[in-house]
Chains A and B, each alone.
Chain A
Amino acid sequence: MLDERKLIAALQHGLPLVSHPYAAIAEQIGSSETEVIEYIQAMKDRGDIKRLGVVVRHRKLGYTANAMVVWDIPDERVDEMGHCFGRFDFVTLSYRRPRHLPDWPYNLFCMIHGRDRDDVMKNLQLMIANCCEADIKYSVLFSNRCFKQRGAIYIHSEKTEAVRA
């Protein structure tokens, strides 16, 4: 039987760069190549795996400008806006998150990528023109330094590693 936890733990670090990567994972977790492939297919079909492929670091490719745009949208319109913003190619995430008043009034978050800040601002204007009124309240948080970027590790091999400081 395939152990889902073990499979996810193996997958979150990426597929090994060998001819038969699923066989290599199968060996690592005590399963078979066919079982691993079928299980991954099932996770894709269920939507548990959003995508399987090459994970790119945009900054290294010259997409150095990235802004988190946060919006204060009336609750009854946030779903509509979230979907509308999400349709643009350059928007990689569109999420609703909680407000924390009074410090944080924003409830919709979009990540916008571009080659430079002008590019990002043009993209932002395009979103506003297509999805909402010009007087919508938002804030643009450009990124400066990236201190850390890697895939999410949900399952830690050692308990002691989980809270390490």
Chain B
Amino acid sequence: MTVETIGLHDNNQDKTRLIEKLLNNFQHDLPLSATPYADMAERLGIEEQQLLDLLSELKEQGIISRVGAVFRPNRIGVSTLAAMAVPEHRLDEVADLISSYSAVNHNYEREHHFNLWFVVTAENQQQLDETLADMEHKSEIRILSLPMEQDYHIDLGFPLQLIEGGHHA
């Protein structure tokens, strides 16, 4: 992969290596100290301000969504994976409708009869049911609701390889 594909304008391999190191070392081990960015910067061999600038840049470019916590599903609130079989000519319209709910975080088109897949979250089951009912009412399309029953494995951040020629695990 080249620097260009990750959206950085300056064609600088050192910077790509730095980003690779940043992303591979800190997807799940952000220091829980008063000054986490200073600690991260020290481990990366750069200044704290450089790291803060880099993180802002990556966020602006959409390469990272945030520096923060991933909560255990259903600990904090409730959620479900929802699917809809949307007629092709209505896909854009229905996808926009679904995305407009603040309760929706992921919303993808997938290659299947059920072609729109999204995650709906709420504080409690009643609120979740109301949101799903509202979506069905507005779209006039039935929702298949598939809440998680058992979690065998959840994303712990996986190894990334940004420089061409290496191997990825």
A and B co-occur in one complex: yes
**Residue pair A147, B109 in contact (C-beta under 8 Å):** yes
Docked pose: A14 CA to B70 CA in angstroms: 10
**Residue pair A60, B62 in contact (C-beta under 8 Å):** yes
**Residue pair B134, A95 in contact (C-beta under 8 Å):** no
Chain A window 141-163, contacts with chain B (Cβ cutoff 8 Å), 1 for yes, 0 for no? 11111111111111110000111
Docked pose: A48 CA to B73 CA in angstroms: 8
**Residue pair B23, A54 in contact (C-beta under 8 Å):** yes
Chain B residues, Cβ within 8 Å of A82: 150, 152-153
Q: Which of A19, A97, A151, A153 contacts B48 (CB 8 A)?
A: A19
**Residue pair A55, B76 in contact (C-beta under 8 Å):** no
Q: A53-B28, A60-B62, A92-B158 are in contact. Are A22 and B150 (CB under 8 A)?
A: no
- Per the 8 Å Cβ criterion, residues 87-131 of A in contact with B are 87, 89-98, 100, 103-104, 109, 111, 113, 115
Chain B residues, Cβ within 8 Å of A154: 71, 76-77, 79, 121-123
Chain B residues, Cβ within 8 Å of A78: 150
**Residue pair A156, B102 in contact (C-beta under 8 Å):** yes
Chain B residues, Cβ within 8 Å of A94: 151-153
**Residue pair A51, B157 in contact (C-beta under 8 Å):** yes
Chain A residues, Cβ within 8 Å of B22: 54
Docked pose: A60 CA to B162 CA in angstroms: 11
Q: A51-B27, A89-B159, A97-B149 are in contact. Are A162 and B66 (CB under 8 A)?
A: no
A-binding residues in B (CB < 8 A) = 1, 5-7, 22-23, 26-30, 32-38, 48, 52, 55-56, 59, 61-72, 75-77, 79, 81, 83, 95-112, 114, 117-119, 121-123, 127, 130-131, 134, 138, 144, 146-160, 162, 169
Q: List 16 A-B contacts (CB under 8 A).
A: A13-B68, A14-B67, A19-B37, A19-B38, A48-B72, A48-B76, A49-B71, A51-B157, A52-B32, A57-B62, A94-B153, A97-B146, A111-B155, A141-B110, A145-B108, A152-B71
